Structure 1
Amino acid sequence: QVQVQNKLQLAMPLLPQEVQRQGVSVTKSRSGFLMVVGFVSSDGSMDRNDISDYVVANIVDPLSRVPGVGSIQVFGAQYAMRIWLDPNKLETFGLAPTDVVAAINGQNQQLAVGQLGGVPAVQGQQLNATITAQGRLQSAEQFGRIVVRSQPDGSLLTLNDIARVELGAETYSFVSRYNGKPATGVAVSLTSGANALDTARGVEQRLAELKNFFPPGLEAVVPFDTTPFVRVAIEGVVKTLLEAIVLVFLVMFLFLQSFRATLIPTIAVPIVLLGTFGVLAALGFSINMLTMFATVLAIGLLVDDAIVVVENVERVMSEEKLGPVEATRKSMKEISGALVGIGLVLSAVFAPMAFLSGSTGIIYRQFSATIIAAVALSVLVALILTPALCATMLKASDMEHGPRRGFFGWFNRGFERTSARYRRVVSAMIAHRWAGLAVFAVLVAVAVFLFFRIPTAFLPQEDQGVLFTQVQAPVGATQQRTLESMQKVESYLLDKENDAVESVFAVLGFSFAGTGQNTGMAFVKLKDWSERTAASLHASAVAQRAMGAFSQIRDALVFAFTPPAVPELGRAGGFVFFLKDNAGLGHAALLDARNRLLGAASQDRRLANVRPNGQEDSPQLQLDIDTRKAGALGLSMSDINTTLSVAWGGRYIDDFIDRGRVKRVYLQADAPFRMVPEDFRLWSVRNRNGEMVPFSAFASWRWEYGSPRLERYNGVSAVEINGEAAPGVSSGEAMQAIEEIVAKLPQGFGIEWSGLSYQERQAGAQTPLLYTLSLIIVFLTLAAMYESWTIPTAVLLVAPLGVLGTTLFASMRGLERDVYFQVALLTTVGLTSKNAILIVAFAQENLDRGMALVDATMQAVRDRLRPIVMTSLAFGLGVLPLALASGAGSGAQNAIGTGVIGGMLFGTFLGIFFVPMFFVGVRRVFRRRGAPKRAQVADEARPPEGSESP
């Protein structure tokens, strides 16, 4: 902030005097709007100027003091004293605008007269009083009585004689409407680092307090608010979290078949969740959609370790007839290493995510911190608390998994039959590993094909409950013409889309493309998601239909679009880029290249709504002053410029007092005298001899085109262009189409992506690094832990099977390869690695006890099938609500849930067959290279029959 202020002070002297007089404000706020608050007179007792003045005087300041509010933009203006000059009367009386300015300044002053009996006072003075005199004027009547000149006959020439004086608006640039009624509004932006939900809640509370003092008939509405989407989405994720806990409990009860045994892993859930939230708080994270998504993912993971402990204790008690305490001790000796390994692997998978840069890194960092914290705490609970609970809560009578009557008996018999068949298949795959490797190679090839076939994107498009509609009338169009087009937009949305649309707040004179009479913006609030369950009422569907209807509006270009997935990264969904004039070919060449690009984009089926986000070159009336003639006529350029700026642009000349508040006085030509170029002939400038010289004597005018706004991007002349992918086309494909079109433009032009598009490109560049780092760290972690190359090799070889499931399910649901897909993919890698560790680690322990390689592997297969299936199903059902979610935030939930479930199914139910084969194969390869032949032969015992394996 200090550096900004220092730079501002250096620039201030370079600004025009009028700009310095009106002031320069510096605000610290985010781009985009948090919410728009509208104000409308329900009974029509207040007109637009009345509403605007009340809002500026009584609403803006209290709202700006709400914690978290960065800046407030008012779509309206407070009252101002407007003095509308008549050039004919000025000519008649021989007056110039400078005379009027001098008269107003002289008779509308803030005076400090002094005191009666002020110190030092004479001896014996008994009275002290403040002296007041006529100072700031307060009404149009008082201003109208200002004496401009005393006539020779003694009469007075007042302001009323040469001008029309009224209490008007400070600016007429904006016209606001709420559902077709006159209104005004304020747009609230967040300050940097503020919490959106807290700030919106604070604004709502302050409005509730201020409503008690509203004039009769004035109502406050909120036609645009980004927080309901966040609030409803978080509520939906919390509901999903509860559903996940219930489903996980049911899966555990199905396999453990004892309420006490099921209760033990369930106890771990609140403990780990509380600990996870504590870690997030310590790291400075908040409870948001990203951390809640990660928490739902962690639900399945955090009970896995406790499930493994309980299941293994139950197995030892059942098979070896030990008591709970002895069985727990023996069980923990067997599985402690595997639990630590699982925790390290899962942490290693997600650790690299925390170190990526950009917006992608911010998203990944919250996932990474949440899951790593949950996994670490889960391992601690499984090693410390769960064994104690097992030793105290389990009973031997509960641990008999023999034939039972009823549902559990049927389930146990079915599971045993399935387990026997499974062991036979594994035995066959070990014996015929080359055939298994061939099948594996085919599966890997399919996974690679599907991975690159899935279109890319940055984030899924969400239904945020709002739409934007931008109106761009032809260049030079007046506010009235823009209003006619806006009325058609309002009529369509409120009448034809009333099943989806709740309200329309329109602002003329403002849009994301710029300001001006030919621009307009509508904030469209959709009904609650619970009322829009049909796909046809989704925000994108409404926008698509609206685009078709708006194409019939002939007098304006109208675009309907959804907000971006991340409000701080742009103002519209789709893609954003700048077409840059890198060679400095000039403004005309840049516009020609832009038009070529837009023309080619309109013919490309992969693209839709490609449009410039700026104002077109507009007609400009160039006034040429002949300085030689002006000098010969005795005119000064200062007087000429003052007359022009006052008459045509209006000038702030002074202040006045209105109901205790200081407001501005503006001097300008009345509307009938500044509508056409010929009106210049009505205006004159007084020369040094006191003669009035008309503009026609020294000036001429001509029409030309010019840009109302010149843009530069990273120091280079550029134009901003927005667009969207056509239905069924990903944003990555659309961006590729744009790059192909730009490659055909003349040399010297290039593009630079911005907003979400830039982040998508950056995320795509970081993705290979993320995958590579995760795999390397997992491999090295396992190698260091087990002091072996065979275990990490066997574990990671099954990762492509999970990738196959993730890519297949994402393809089937038409999802894209976005940030959430990558999270799902890494989660799948961690899950498949976890299952592989359960088999490989136990097989290694059996080898260390002297068992032959195949016997050790088959024993691990028999002992670990039940916990693997149980933990995988618990995890899969835990994220199932994400895949089936609908409503606010469902896009992100579906992306994560679908990918994780697909990866879980394929990674588990293919991995349990391939992991034993890989372990045996890799072990044989390493033994063949580093051990004597006798050890290899002794290791290769004949595979036993699957159903009779010990």
Structure 2
Amino acid sequence: METAEGIRAEIERQRVNFPTSVDVHYPFDTSPFVRLSIEGVVVTLIEAIVLVFLVMYLFLQNIRATIIPTLAIPVVLLGTFAVLGLFGYSINTLTMFGMVLAIGLLVDDAIVVVENVERVMEEEGLGPREATIKSMGEISSALVGITTVLAAVFIPMAFFSGSVGIIYRQFSVTIVTAMILSVLVALVLTPALCVALLRKPKHGVAKATPFRWFNAGFSGFTNIYQRTTHALLRRIAISVVLFIAIAAGVGALFTSLPSAFLPEEDQGRLVTAVQLPPGATADRTRRVLDQVIEHYMTNERDYVEGIFGSVGFSFGGQGQNVATVFVALKDFEQRRTPESSAAAIAQRAMAAFRSISDGRVVALAPPAIPGFGNNSGFDFFLRDTGNAGHEALMAARNQLLGAATQSEKLTGTRPNGQDDTPQFFISIDRDRASALGIELSDIDATLSTAWGGTYVNDFLDRGRVKRVYVQSGAEFRMQPEDFERWHIRNNAGEMVPLSSFSTGDWSFGSPRLERYNGVSAVQLQGSPAAGVSSGQSMEEIDRMVEDLPEGFSHQWTGLSAEERLAGNQALQLYIISVIVVFLALAALYESWTIPFSVMLSVPVGILGALAAASCFGQLNDVYFKVGLLTTIGLTAKNAILIVEFATVEESKGKTLIEATIEAARQRLRPILMTSFAFILGVLPLATASGAGAGSQNSIGIGVMGGMISATLLGIFLIPAVYVATRMLTRMGASRSPRSQPAADAPAK
């Protein structure tokens, strides 16, 4: 952003020196999209803070108690920005997404502290100081456990390599930093604020009508929850069957969810590639270019801000038969309807360009991240690994393109390059040229000057410096026979015909030498059809390549290569995160039962995230994977709150079921409060529109669905899973040989 602003400022300073006929336009500028994306995330961040505050106030019903967790937000965010600065990160969409996710997380610890202090004061009649001291003794280990789980989930992300690792790393550093600072604030600042701000509750004071309605409804729900939990614990087999069904649902949804690398974004611009048959002149190409420009400026005039077209340049190569058009769309504020989106404009353009019979015209959306190719579809190289030759490679390419046109999953599959063209080769007889006294450097200079032109000097024209180029006249360089009319001066000062020591021959071949990883290759691009994900289209290409003759393979590049890498690493990331969380909990509680029961609750949250993504047409992309990891951590957090208190209650002499029911009752309020605070905190992400909305929706919808499932189903299943795990542990211990007295042991 600073670079773009600096360029604009410098051009404005230089504008006074421009001729009056020169104006400045910016046909291709990525900075507006970046600026609008960050502004959108900042607005989302503010909305999340407001919604979290309202949830806390609804549950706590005390402005003093609500202010305490709210104060943790600026303290933690300030510290997080400081750590990001130390790591050299900038304020970008990735770090800001991490901040929005952290908003719902960082208040969790403070909410747990304040809620428990309020409960102790209400139930035991203690003052703020005594209640805070007792409360911190009860929940400090739970706070450390929650932070350990959430940090353990995200830490493995920081060690992944490649472009995916760069994306993951910024999320990891942002969220882990916020979590660590959050627990420090909850252990140090929040108790002090509780003592300073909270007051002993006064009984008999009438609350506002909305609060009375809420309390009545919550009390009724608590009674239903206790009875349902008690029934499930008495019939543990039902809970086991339910858990198996949830696990099966997770497996089915995960395998059926389409994959992608990044969601497509409306970046406010399009790129249109024009390619005519080999040998087409620049004038013929310009006529097609004028048709393309006419379409955008006439049929899409309500949505197009400006156009810049260039003949001779293309992403697939240079030549008279290619052109590129950069289309700048109007601001997002003027394009709020579905038909005004970049994807809709490109789709209409593709339909209109089919009527152009003089060449191939393709409208492309730029990739979500610059530097990974030039379009948002799939991108790969077809490689001649068997060294079959150029003609066989072209035949395999044409076979693949023919199969792609018949597939309903692909659209716009095309070569990103130029077709074979007629070529005129000049062969120099070096021995004869040397005998005639001609240097090879003079031959090169003559050919270069005659065909391409050579810069010789400058001259002044009305106060302006202009360059002088020398080139053969058009009538002397347009035909092959013109080659015989050129002469070169030898070392004796004589003019020697070029034809006396060289010959010209026609051939047919590729205008450029294409290799990929050292192997002859051609680049192919395309897009998934409507309703098809990029992952599904790539699988279709994989299937088609298998039908090609032996000796031909393909290799993904650009965004497609990153998508494959992200998909291959995803399973590793999930497994490592789960193992790290399990080991961290085992070390924290010095038990295998507690971490095992906590991890068994995770499928409940994953089920909700996958179901929400499937219902709203989301894809299994990088952002969704981040949301899935967040869901794993938050589901485990809810389980820790119940399991931790269940072990405490059991140590007081209660039975396993009684302790679990009491723990579930005590922790219901903070679980619901923290869960709804997070759900509403990510609601602006799930409902975002405009610049960067694709990424925000991908994170928000998945996490929101996961937390809703983890809250509404998890609070019932977590106690049952914990009891079932403890029962199995006891059964295993009773059957262990170590638990039985030795037969020959002496009697005491």
- What is residue 855 of structure 1 aligned with on the other side? 658
Q: What are the Cα deviations for residues 637-665 of structure 1, in whole angstroms up to 9, with x where unaligned?
A: 75993686166424526323447998754
Residue among 609, 613, 627 paired with 1:824: 627
Residue among 134, 151, 155 paired with 1:347: 151
Aligned residue pairs, count: 736
- What is residue 705 of structure 2 aligned with on the other side? 902
Q: What are the Cα deviations for residues 186-223 of structure 1, in whole angstroms up to 9, with x where unaligned?
A: xxxxxxxxxxx111111111111111222213211111
Q: Contact between 1:403 and 1:413, CA under 8 Å: does it hold in 2? A: no
Which whole-Å CA distance do the structure 2 matches of 1:395 and 1:305 have between them?
20
Q: Which amino acid aligns with 1:370?
A: T
Which is helix-richer, 1 or 2? Answer: 2
- What is residue 9 of structure 2 aligned with on the other side? 205
Q: Secondary structure at the match of 2:214?
A: helix
- What is residue 530 of structure 2 aligned with on the other side? 727
State the Cα RMSD in Å: 2.3
- What is residue 421 of structure 2 aligned with on the other side? 618
Q: Which amino acid aligns with 1:504?
A: I
Note closer, same or farther for the CA distance 1:697–1:332 as it changes in structure 2 (3 Å cut).
closer
Which whole-Å CA distance do the structure 2 matches of 1:686 and 1:777 have between them?
78
Note closer, same or farther for the CA distance 1:871–1:701 as it changes in structure 2 (3 Å cut).
same
- What is residue 277 of structure 1 aligned with on the other side? 81
Q: What are the Cα deviations for residues 685-712 of structure 1, in whole angstroms up to 9, with x where unaligned?
A: 6789988776677766443212221011
- What is residue 288 of structure 1 aligned with on the other side? 92
What TM-score do you get using the length of structure 1 for normalisation?
0.75
Q: Contact between 1:264 and 1:306, CA under 8 Å: does it hold in 2? A: yes
- What is residue 572 of structure 2 aligned with on the other side? 769
C-alpha displacement at 1:848, in angstroms? Answer: 1.6
Which whole-Å CA distance do the structure 2 matches of 1:628 and 1:767 have between them?
63
Counting only pairs closer than 5 Å after superposition, residues 378-457 of structure 1 correspond to structure 2 as 378-397=182-201, 404=207, 406-457=209-260
- What is residue 883 of structure 1 aligned with on the other side? 686
Residue among 694, 709, 732 paired with 1:929: 732
- What is residue 645 of structure 1 aligned with on the other side? 447
Q: Which amino acid aligns with 2:287?
A: E
- What is residue 3 of structure 1 aligned with on the other side? none
Mean Cα deviation higher: 637-646 or 325-334: 637-646
| 1:588 partnered with 2:588 | no
Q: What are the Cα deviations for residues 833-874 of structure 1, in whole angstroms up to 9, with x where unaligned?
A: 000100000001111222221111111111110110011000
Note closer, same or farther for the CA distance 1:259–1:638 as it changes in structure 2 (3 Å cut).
closer
Q: What are the Cα deviations for residues 380-426 of structure 1, in whole angstroms up to 9, with x where unaligned?
A: 1111111111111111236x598745111111011101100011000
Q: Secondary structure at the match of 2:414?
A: strand
Residue among 124, 128, 144 paired with 1:320: 124
Which whole-Å CA distance do the structure 1 matches of 2:204 and 2:587 have between them?
38
Residue among 871, 874, 890 paired with 2:674: 871
Q: Contact between 2:453 and 2:472, CA under 8 Å: does it hold in 1? A: no
Note closer, same or farther for the CA distance 1:931–1:696 as it changes in structure 2 (3 Å cut).
closer
Which whole-Å CA distance do the structure 1 matches of 2:310 and 2:185 have between them?
57
- What is residue 296 of structure 2 aligned with on the other side? 493
Q: Which amino acid aligns with 1:761?
A: R
Note closer, same or farther for the CA distance 1:257–1:631 as it changes in structure 2 (3 Å cut).
closer
C-alpha displacement at 1:363, in angstroms? Answer: 0.6
Q: Contact between 1:646 and 1:667, CA under 8 Å: does it hold in 2? A: no
Which whole-Å CA distance do the structure 1 matches of 2:442 and 2:18 have between them?
46
Note closer, same or farther for the CA distance 1:323–1:677 as it changes in structure 2 (3 Å cut).
same
Q: Which amino acid aligns with 1:785?
A: L
Q: Secondary structure at the match of 1:793?
A: helix
Note closer, same or farther for the CA distance 1:656–1:849 as it changes in structure 2 (3 Å cut).
same
Counting only pairs closer than 5 Å after superposition, residues 545-560 of structure 1 correspond to structure 2 as 545-560=348-363
Residue among 30, 37, 54 paired with 1:226: 30
Which whole-Å CA distance do the structure 2 matches of 1:255 and 1:857 have between them?
23
Q: Secondary structure at the match of 1:220?
A: coil
Q: What are the Cα deviations for residues 248-280 of structure 1, in whole angstroms up to 9, with x where unaligned?
A: 000001010011111110011000100111111
Q: Secondary structure at the match of 1:397?
A: coil
Note closer, same or farther for the CA distance 1:242–1:689 as it changes in structure 2 (3 Å cut).
closer
| 1:512 partnered with 2:315 | yes
| 1:670 partnered with 2:464 | no
Q: What are the Cα deviations for residues 747-776 of structure 1, in whole angstroms up to 9, with x where unaligned?
A: 111111111111111111111111111111
Q: Contact between 1:404 and 1:410, CA under 8 Å: does it hold in 2? A: no
- What is residue 179 of structure 2 aligned with on the other side? 375
Which whole-Å CA distance do the structure 1 matches of 2:93 and 2:491 have between them?
72
Q: Contact between 2:282 and 2:311, CA under 8 Å: does it hold in 1? A: yes
Which whole-Å CA distance do the structure 1 matches of 2:453 and 2:378 have between them?
41
What TM-score do you get using the length of structure 2 for normalisation?
0.94
Which whole-Å CA distance do the structure 2 matches of 1:740 and 1:565 have between them?
26
Q: Secondary structure at the match of 2:35?
A: helix
Q: Secondary structure at the match of 2:90?
A: coil
Which whole-Å CA distance do the structure 2 matches of 1:401 and 1:603 have between them?
76
Note closer, same or farther for the CA distance 1:650–1:344 as it changes in structure 2 (3 Å cut).
closer
Q: Contact between 2:111 and 2:670, CA under 8 Å: does it hold in 1? A: yes
Q: Contact between 1:401 and 1:412, CA under 8 Å: does it hold in 2? A: no
Note closer, same or farther for the CA distance 1:748–1:395 as it changes in structure 2 (3 Å cut).
same
Structure whose alpha-carbon radius of gyration is higher: 1
Which whole-Å CA distance do the structure 2 matches of 1:748 and 1:801 have between them?
47
Note closer, same or farther for the CA distance 1:706–1:414 as it changes in structure 2 (3 Å cut).
same
| 1:528 partnered with 2:331 | yes
Q: Secondary structure at the match of 2:383?
A: strand
Note closer, same or farther for the CA distance 1:639–1:511 as it changes in structure 2 (3 Å cut).
closer
Which whole-Å CA distance do the structure 2 matches of 1:812 and 1:312 have between them?
37
Q: Contact between 2:437 and 2:492, CA under 8 Å: does it hold in 1? A: no
Which whole-Å CA distance do the structure 1 matches of 2:576 and 2:484 have between them?
75
Q: Contact between 2:451 and 2:477, CA under 8 Å: does it hold in 1? A: no
Q: Contact between 1:248 and 1:875, CA under 8 Å: does it hold in 2? A: yes
Q: Which amino acid aligns with 1:219?
A: D
Mean Cα deviation higher: 873-882 or 786-795: 786-795
Q: Contact between 2:120 and 2:135, CA under 8 Å: does it hold in 1? A: yes
Which whole-Å CA distance do the structure 1 matches of 2:488 and 2:89 have between them?
66
Structure 1 gaps of 5+ residues are: 1-196, 937-950
- What is residue 743 of structure 2 aligned with on the other side? none
Q: What are the Cα deviations for residues 403-452 of structure 1, in whole angstroms up to 9, with x where unaligned?
A: 74511111101110110001100000001111121122112211210111
- What is residue 947 of structure 1 aligned with on the other side? none
Q: Which amino acid aligns with 1:767?
A: A
Q: Which amino acid aligns with 1:291?
A: T
Which whole-Å CA distance do the structure 2 matches of 1:931 and 1:630 have between them?
100
- What is residue 141 of structure 2 aligned with on the other side? 337
C-alpha displacement at 1:622, in angstroms? Answer: 3.5
Structure 2 gaps of 5+ residues are: 740-748
Which whole-Å CA distance do the structure 2 matches of 1:685 and 1:435 have between them?
96
Q: Contact between 1:646 and 1:669, CA under 8 Å: does it hold in 2? A: no
Q: Which amino acid aligns with 2:329?
A: L
Which whole-Å CA distance do the structure 1 matches of 2:678 and 2:702 have between them?
13
Q: Which amino acid aligns with 1:913?
A: F
Q: What are the Cα deviations for residues 145-176 of structure 1, in whole angstroms up to 9, with x where unaligned?
A: xxxxxxxxxxxxxxxxxxxxxxxxxxxxxxxx
Which whole-Å CA distance do the structure 2 matches of 1:924 and 1:690 have between them?
106
